Structure 1
Amino acid sequence: MKKILLLGAAAVVLAACGNKPKIENETGKAGQNTEYTQYLDTLKADNNLKITMGKVPVTIVGKELKVGDKIREVPLVVNTKLEEKNIFEDKNIKVIYTAPSLDTKVCSLQTKQLNEAAKTHTNVKFYSVTVDTPFAQERFCTANEINGLKAVSDFKYHQFGIQNGFFIKEKGLLTRALMIVDENNNVKYIEYVSEEGKEADVDKALKFLENKLLKK
């Protein structure tokens, strides 16, 4: 049974990013208790988002996050000690990339792009949020020299995804999105990617950052 569950989890991430992951997602339905499954069943979409995974429609829980909204400050796991931190406490502009998993073809490419941008814009905080465990995130970041962008995890409770409109109900993953929030955590730019296997427009987001927020 354990082997079947692990294979199922791998298949989910494969469908999400179009390539076999090098690291395990280490989350998903395996090990979920009855109470948690029942809780997931109560979650509803309160948005008109049309998101697909492998061309199959999926449900994004909650409201769609839009420009002008204030992001909900949910603590995230920031290291392999499983320490939680509210990354929104500081007064920095933040670029936040949410994705199903770090180490897959699309996710890996975009994380590396944003990591390079973080080295240029040192006064801006860059984050990647997934439900990979911090151990998987650390392995990926070390192997790929990701040292400008900070990978943080929503694996414990999924509340960042659920409360901000990024949680995929059927898969237990975060949908692919790219957003920029200002010093007061107001959303200034956001893109939800309509198909999980496609890329967010990183160049467009960075141009917005440079022209609209950094040139004041």
Structure 2
Amino acid sequence: MVERTGVVSFGGKPVTLIGPEIKVGDTAPDFTALGTDLKPVSLKDFAGKPLILASVPSLDTGVCDAETRRFNEEATGLPGVTILTISMDLPFAQKRWCGAAGVERVITLSDHRDASFGQAYGVLVKELRLLARAVFVVDASGKVTYVEYVPDAHNHPNYEAAIAAARQAAARVS
């Protein structure tokens, strides 16, 4: 598996990412993660739909919490777009967090079992076995139209750019 250094850091400390760098124009790689009901979910389950795929280190941290809540709020203005937040948190913790946070429009998926998403999208942090913060937009044809590997996990992604890319992907469907 490909290892990449110098791409992102955690609190200013550089880390190693496992997996390839995803680029605009790539076909979105398939992956399997667990839903909060412990059932496997794959990219194929969302075929034909524009997607925002947001990887976060843990929903129980301030930036990840705020990011997921922000995408949940933005979802109302993104008809036809499915938003997935993927982390290494256990499905039980994700379900508890979503209930406590009132997050109902973002689907949380757990990559804890196989790190399938992390390895496929190049966001698995070798040193911590967490996912780096990144956002990918995938159009209805399965092509990646937006990529952001956030330089430091303590920073927020560029919400406006990701949302604009998702709106463009949704507009191509209608």
The answer, yes or no, to whether TM exceeds 0.5 is: yes
Task: Give the residue type in structure 1 aligned to 2:127.
Answer: E
Kept after mapping to 2: 8 A contact 1:129/1:152: yes
Kept after mapping to 1: 8 A contact 2:145/2:165: no
Q: In structure 2, what is the equivalent of residue 37 of structure 1?
A: none
* Partner-residue secondary structure (3-state), 2:70: helix
Residue 71 (str. 1) matches residue 28 (str. 2) = yes
Q: Tell me, in whole angstroms, the C-alpha distance in 2 between the residues paired with 1:53 and 1:91.
A: 34
Q: Tell me, in whole angstroms, the C-alpha distance in 2 between the residues paired with 1:73 and 1:49.
A: 25
* Partner-residue secondary structure (3-state), 1:214: helix
Residue 88 (str. 1) matches residue 44 (str. 2) = yes
* Partner-residue secondary structure (3-state), 1:52: strand
- Count of residues in correspondence between the two structures: 171
Deviations 1:72-119 (A, max 9, x none): 211110123x21021433310001100100121100111011001112
In the TM superposition, 1:60-139 aligns within 5 A as 60-80=17-37, 82-89=38-45, 90-139=47-96
Larger Rg: 1
Q: Tell me, in whole angstroms, the C-alpha distance in 1 between the residues paired with 2:109 and 2:28.
A: 16
Residue 162 (str. 1) matches residue 119 (str. 2) = yes
Quote the offset at 1:132 in angstroms: 0.2
Residue 52 (str. 1) matches residue 9 (str. 2) = yes
Q: In structure 1, what is the equivalent of residue 135 of structure 2?
A: 178
- Quick one: higher RCO (CA 8 Å, sep 6+), 1 or 2? 2
Residue 195 (str. 1) matches residue 159 (str. 2) = no
Quote the offset at 1:214 in angstroms: 3.2
Greater share of strand: 2
TM-score (norm 1): 0.75
Q: Tell me, in whole angstroms, the C-alpha distance in 1 between the residues paired with 2:39 and 2:170.
A: 31
Identity %: 29
Kept after mapping to 2: 8 A contact 1:49/1:64: no
- Which stretch has the larger CA shift, 178-187 or 92-101? 178-187
Task: Give the residue type in structure 1 aligned to 2:107.
Answer: K
Structure 2: which 5+ runs fail to align?
none
Q: Tell me, in whole angstroms, the C-alpha distance in 2 between the residues paired with 1:157 and 1:68.
A: 26
Q: Tell me, in whole angstroms, the C-alpha distance in 1 between the residues paired with 2:128 and 2:35.
A: 23
Task: Give the residue type in structure 2 aligned to 1:127.
Answer: L
